[in-house]
Structure 1
Amino acid sequence: RVFIVEEALLYPEGIACEEVLIAGEKGGSYLNVILYALGLGALYGWMVKGFELTQAKVEVAADIIGVRIYSSLDYSLSLIAVGWIVGMQIASFIFFGAIIGVFILTPLYGLTYGWPVDHDIAHGFKTLWMTHIRFVGVGCMVVGGLWTLIDMRGTIKSGLKKAIGADVSGEMGSLPRTEQDIPMNRAVIALGVIAFLTFLFYWWKTDSLLLAIVGAIFLAFTAFFFSAVAGYIAGVVGSSNSPVSGMTIATIMATTLVVWLVGGVILGMAQTDLMYATLIIASIVAVNAAIAGDVMQDLKTGHLLGATPWKQQIAELIGVLVGAVVAPLTLTVLNEAFRITPTYCAANPHPEWGCAKVLEAPQAEIIGTLIQGLFGGDVNYPMLGLGVLVAVIIIGARWYLGSWQSSKIRLFGISTPIPKLSGGPQLPIMSIAIGMYLPFYLSATIFLGGSLNYLVSRS
């Protein structure tokens, strides 16, 4: 309710699903527009992915007197649609974050510390961005997520008060059907059971009661925080573009400290056991964040169509349980058939084709390398710190510009009020952080969609 009703976030996939369902109900010319769009998207997908008649994205890179520049654009219609739905303002700030990362920070880092030795300029540029500059986006995103929750503390508190108040007073049944959630007392009981089962699982896997207690408590707070952040981000750029891997990286950074203090310093556990304990928490948080974005899209669709929230929430729970059974089996089959990640394949090649058909899984590879680096003392803390600094500067800019929002300036003899840039979406820290973290072609294509929306609306 906080994000969908109070904050009125867009949730692009949720809106798209609503339009499709409405079109199916209305039929006629309204449905024809949707069918034409689906047909165009399918035809384009076959041309690009199936028949490979054109490239999926275009990249441009150059080395000008030692300064490397890089730009890229994806031909994805779905990304253009996301930009169209979120609008020019949000798309612009996402693109602004991408410009900071790709056109400012990456060249500066390359000039200061040197470029990777790579004959392919584009590949070398992307390697430097991936291994260093992207962590700036992670640091910015963590602070941005925390600040967003602080900024919305009143709305969150109000929403919880309404839910608990309606539950205690028995007014839940008297609320309009479209505002009836799962009763808070049942939700709390369910959360308690899940937390206890998580504690037992962690105890079983780590064989340490103290680490299991601390880990379960830490996991509860971390999962709540990043689920809220993921739900917010999904409302801005869609769950398909939600930077779950970035939130997982931030989780690993914090988890490593807790696990090291409890498991390493106090209990003296082996380094491999510490890495395993860290991975368990990071995996649970990553799944929470991924599911949070998808669930919010579904609830947005239901809100727009007048669905009953508690029925949707029950359906989501059933879906999560089914997914928990099916997903591990699917991953096991894929790993047996192709091998997942080059690192695993190098140690366990397929008996028939070795690593020729390996599934890259770059996020999994990065996270595995990060965990090993954290316990080996090889982590990019300076870039994470720079991301925190960027976030603090943006927050300071919001406060400073907000203090001048009632002032006026004279332009060409006309008294003009300074635009309000504080609060709300006018200077959204999370949008800028997302742009710094996502690959440039994603941000650029979203910006293209927002620009097309702006041009069409102007005409």
Structure 2
Amino acid sequence: MSPTPPQWSFYPALERRSPASGVKRSFPRPAGRERGMDAALECRAMAEKKPFVAFDDVRLPENAFRELAPGERYEPVVPSSADVPEVTLRSIVQGAFWSIVFSAAATYIALKLGQGIESAIPISILAVGFSVFAVKVMKSRASTLLENVNVLAIGATSGIIAGGSVFTMPAIYILGLEGRSSFFQIFLVPLLGAALGVFFLAPFRRYFVRDLHGKLPYPEGRATTEILVAGKRGGRSAAVLSYSAAIAAVFDFVGPSMKGFSDIFSTGAIGALSGFTARTKAVFTMNTSAAVFGLGYIMGLDYAAIILAGSLVSFLVLVPLFGWLGQYIPAALPGGALPLVEMAPEDIFFDYVRPIGIGGIFAAGVISILKMSPVIVQAVRQAFGEIGRLVRGAGKAAAVPSVERQERALPMSAAILGALGVGTLVLLYFRFSVLAGVENAWGLALAAAVLALVVAFLFTAVSAWAIAMISITPISGMTLTTLIVTAMVLSALGLKGPDGMLQTLLIGGVVCTALSMAGSLVTQYKIAYWLGATPRRIEVSNLVGAVAASVATTAVILLMSKVYGFSPGPLHPNPLPAPQPNAMAAVLTGVM
């Protein structure tokens, strides 16, 4: 079955006579007011004798979300042959601006509420909105579809860097280690982790994106892609997008923000059922926010049903099971502040059932790594083969065949060399910035760097798989696991006390950011595959965005530490909750 080609329109040709040869040539020309391109781009297309392409009715191909039949190819929305601006000054400035804004917001929200925010979907909506603003108000051209993808690639690093930093770095202040750290230290940790995430995931791009096409749902990636395509299509689709966003904003403002009504429906709040819930701990709770409804609609019935099934098993089977066991276990279990019989169903879920789900995701990720082992071996073999050819000077002689734009990614050799380069920077950073003056500093720094690289490599694959499946990655759980393993290893090597705690937190920050970057990047890879963007440019844009986001996140963390603090004391009697950093600090205090 042949794929449905993307809908393109070519402008009627305009015949012009070359003054030099007198030969008539046909150049494309707008039939009316041009759509999506300005006159400068049209002139460039004429000069290069390329067809000037405009979006008329952009749609995702029919086979965008299903598995391909044998021999079938997926053709992206923007064909590789189309001359479409991708990385421009407009996209870079806009992406960097959103990266800084959302980094600051995500950092504060995570410290205040203990919940990170995903910035990809809001930034995609803002990118579409700016494109409309540019045409209607600024009388400029609209942003191209690939420019908006680049805006997303730079801006989406905000949530990545914020998550990697906020979950670990504030623990430095909670443990009283701020005298041993600096702005540069906290800034460099998420930046190095983000670079590792890019270089570690790059060899597996083709496996996750092309080989598993249609087998992984990519819920957030699909939602973001639909927004970008709908905004570019214009007309009725853009109107529907605008109306939907307005209705959702009003709904959430009147409800949760103004306390007009609750966006959480729970049978435990119904008088007739509250007694039953108290006895059995069984409760049915549903989030009715506009964002959840929209995401469920985009995901489709199949994958939404899978998530629903997991929720029903959690709250109607596992939570009541723990409640029933409470009559035989009168004391509080490890990790719980109260006995099971005295705990609310939601507390049982977060303390005991949720870790079961995280363990399931982690186990599935490990299984996926085992299944990927042939891919890993092949990627490593190919990378070292490329490095060997470059060393022998045969790299230029062996010309690489021209590939389509959506397949132009970092070479395997560049990914391996990049990871080794970042690993070397991590080693030097640990040795001279953290362990200076410590006995056996080189040995400890080498052990810490190797540990960070190995754990980050394994967890990036797990994170990418989790995001591709359910758009959720257990960052806090995997970071906590990293801290425990690292603390035990460093303690066994003799590094304990404040130096050991600081070293462990920095390793945790690098790993946490690396797996966050992998989860975001695999989504961007898929968006690029669907729409026809260049993976290599997305990888570079992520590194650029990571610099801006690291500066903003570090500045907010330092500001919050001075204004509010993260632990109670004379200067800060009412500190920010910072639940994840406090949990990390408690673990390190017990182990080291």
TM-score, length-normalised on structure 1? Answer: 0.69
Paired residues of 2:330 and 2:339 also in contact (CA < 8 A): no
RMSD: 3.0
| C-alpha distance after superposition, 1:191-249 (max 9, x if no partner) | 222111111222231333222111111111111111111111111222xx322112212
Q: Which residue of 1 aligns with 2:505?
A: 279
Identity within the alignment, %: 23
Label 1:187 to 1:298 Cα distance change in 2 as closer, same or farther (>3 A).
same
- Show the 5 A alignment for 1:407-446: none
Q: Is residue 143 of structure 1 aligned with residue 363 of structure 2? A: yes
1:17 aligned to 199, 217, 224, which one?
Answer: 224
Q: Amino acid of the residue matched to residue 45 of structure 1?
A: D
Label 1:27 to 1:139 Cα distance change in 2 as closer, same or farther (>3 A).
closer
Q: Is residue 359 of structure 1 aligned with residue 576 of structure 2? A: yes
Q: Which residue of 2 aligns with 1:184?
A: 412
Q: Using the TM superposition, give the Cα deviation of residue 159 of structure 1 relative to its aligned residue in structure 2, in angstroms.
A: 5.3
1:106 aligned to 319, 328, 339, which one?
Answer: 319
Q: Amino acid of the residue matched to residue 577 of structure 2?
A: E
Give 3-state SS (helix, strand or coil) of 2:238's partner. helix
Q: Which residue of 2 aligns with 1:5?
A: 210
State the distance in 2 between where 1:362 and 1:276 align: 18
Q: Amino acid of the residue matched to residue 363 of structure 2?
A: V
Q: Using the TM superposition, give the Cα deviation of residue 118 of structure 1 relative to its aligned residue in structure 2, in angstroms.
A: 7.1
Q: Using the TM superposition, give the Cα deviation of residue 158 of structure 1 relative to its aligned residue in structure 2, in angstroms.
A: 4.8
State the distance in 1 between where 2:234 and 2:383 align: 38
- Show the 5 A alignment for 1:10-409: 10-61=217-268, 62=274, 64=276, 66-110=279-323, 111=326, 112-114=328-330, 124-158=344-378, 170-172=398-400, 174-203=402-431, 204-206=433-435, 207=438, 208-238=441-471, 241-262=472-493, 267=494, 269-340=495-566, 344=567, 346-347=568-569, 349-350=571-572, 354-355=573-574, 358-375=575-592
Give 3-state SS (helix, strand or coil) of 2:286's partner. strand
Paired residues of 1:172 and 1:183 also in contact (CA < 8 A): no
Give 3-state SS (helix, strand or coil) of 2:344's partner. helix
Q: Amino acid of the residue matched to residue 177 of structure 1?
A: R
Structure 1 or 2, whichever has the larger Rg, is 2
State the distance in 1 between where 2:461 and 2:261 align: 39
State the distance in 1 between where 2:354 and 2:465 align: 20
State the distance in 2 between where 1:87 and 1:12 align: 9
| C-alpha distance after superposition, 1:96-127 (max 9, x if no partner) | 44444443333333423248687999963333
Q: Using the TM superposition, give the Cα deviation of residue 327 of structure 1 relative to its aligned residue in structure 2, in angstroms.
A: 1.1
Paired residues of 1:118 and 1:124 also in contact (CA < 8 A): no
Q: Amino acid of the residue matched to residue 205 of structure 1?
A: V
State the distance in 1 between where 2:247 and 2:399 align: 49
Paired residues of 2:281 and 2:344 also in contact (CA < 8 A): no
Paired residues of 1:11 and 1:296 also in contact (CA < 8 A): no
Q: Which residue of 2 aligns with 1:380?
A: none
Q: Using the TM superposition, give the Cα deviation of residue 307 of structure 1 relative to its aligned residue in structure 2, in angstroms.
A: 0.7
Q: Amino acid of the residue matched to residue 238 of structure 2?
A: L
Q: Bigger relative contact order, structure 1 or 2, given CA contacts below 8 A and separation 6+? A: 1
Count of aligned pairs between the two proteins: 359
Q: Using the TM superposition, give the Cα deviation of residue 181 of structure 1 relative to its aligned residue in structure 2, in angstroms.
A: 0.7
Unaligned runs of 5+ in 1: 376-459
Q: Which residue of 2 aligns with 1:411?
A: none
Give 3-state SS (helix, strand or coil) of 2:300's partner. helix
State the distance in 2 between where 1:99 and 1:251 align: 30
Q: Amino acid of the residue matched to residue 289 of structure 2?
A: S
TM-score, length-normalised on structure 2? Answer: 0.55
State the distance in 2 between where 1:235 and 1:252 align: 25
Paired residues of 2:379 and 2:412 also in contact (CA < 8 A): no
Moved more, 20-29 or 224-233: 20-29
Q: Which residue of 1 aligns with 2:14?
A: none
Q: Using the TM superposition, give the Cα deviation of residue 185 of structure 1 relative to its aligned residue in structure 2, in angstroms.
A: 2.6
State the distance in 2 between where 1:285 and 1:86 align: 29
Paired residues of 1:59 and 1:122 also in contact (CA < 8 A): no
State the distance in 1 between where 2:242 and 2:386 align: 43
Q: Using the TM superposition, give the Cα deviation of residue 147 of structure 1 relative to its aligned residue in structure 2, in angstroms.
A: 0.9
Paired residues of 1:59 and 1:70 also in contact (CA < 8 A): yes
Q: Amino acid of the residue matched to residue 103 of structure 1?
A: L
